[in-house]
A and B are shown apart, each in its own frame.
Chain A
Amino acid sequence: GEDVEQSLFLSVREGDSSVINCTYTDSSSTYLYWYKQEPGAGLQLLTYIFSNMDMKQDQRLTVLLNKKDKHLSLRIADTQTGDSAIYFCAEKVWGYNKLIFGAGTRLAVHP
């Protein structure tokens, strides 16, 4: 079955890099996404990666995809207090348009 798992909590110091990890079970994923949710707000699409790519970089964000291990990560360079939020990993599986979400990782950035 389809399942997406994330660790629930990550705490980092301001200025350090954050790495948020995600694993998924369905090998027929086509796209994998990272969404950000700030308190009381909706889901903001940060970035996505197509399943035939290994890496995608977008300013401070780097996405790494290991298809063999079904592992996705999001690295945030120079983490700022404004990056404090819940980060959701999601996948889209071949033949479907629905997104399957993980439970979200709460990132806390402290001085």
Chain B
Amino acid sequence: EPEVTQTPSHQVTQMGQEVILRCVPISNHLYFYWYRQILGQKVEFLVSFYNNEISEKSEIFDDQFSVERPDGSNFTLKIRSTKLEDSAMYFCASSAGTSGEDNEQFFGPGTRLTVL
């Protein structure tokens, strides 16, 4: 069964450093998402991406964040200058569409980001 994959599973970085989290969505999906879950808190939406551009973003997704689909398979989240409060589990998700049977968002296993 096709699945969303994410690398690395755990990333440790120093405050102020740049990190890139990588995701490979399900191959025939067109919509891509990033969510995060700070320990003990709710899963929060960050951004959605369709047709090579951002379609929605939350207020969390400020200028420190960017997303890219550098090739036909990868979808990346970059944090330019990490802060302590960026420590969280970051989930990538993808969906074939946004309505009907295609509305389902399938999640990857997550990347745990620890900022020291």
Contact = CB atoms under 8 A, between A and B. Distances in A.
B103 interface: yes
A41 B107 CA distance: 10
A61 interface: no
Interface in A62-111: 88, 90, 92, 96-104
Contacts, number: 52
Contacts of B43: 43, 88, 90, 99, 101
B104 A45 contact: yes
A44 interface: yes
Contact of B107 (A31, A42, A48): A42
B94 to A, nearest CB: 11
Contact of A98 (B48, B104, B106): B48
A101 B107 contact: no
B107 A45 contact: yes
Secondary structure type dominating chain A contacts: strand
Interface residues of B, number: 26
A100 B110 CA distance: 18
B91 A43 contact: yes
Contacts of B44: 101
Contacts of A31: 103
B105 interface: yes
A20 to B, nearest CB: 16
Nearest to B43: A101
Which of B43, B98, B99, B106 neighbours the largest number of chain A CB atoms within 10 Å of its CB? B43
Interface in B27-80: 31, 33, 35, 41-45, 48, 55-56, 58
A45 B55 contact: no
Contacts of A44: 107
Given A97-B48, A98-B45, A43 B58 contact: no
B108 interface: yes
Given A96-B56, A97-B98, A102 B107 contact: no
Interface of A: 30-31, 33, 35, 41-45, 48, 88, 90, 92, 96-104
5 contacts: A88-B43, A98-B56, A98-B58, A99-B45, A101-B35
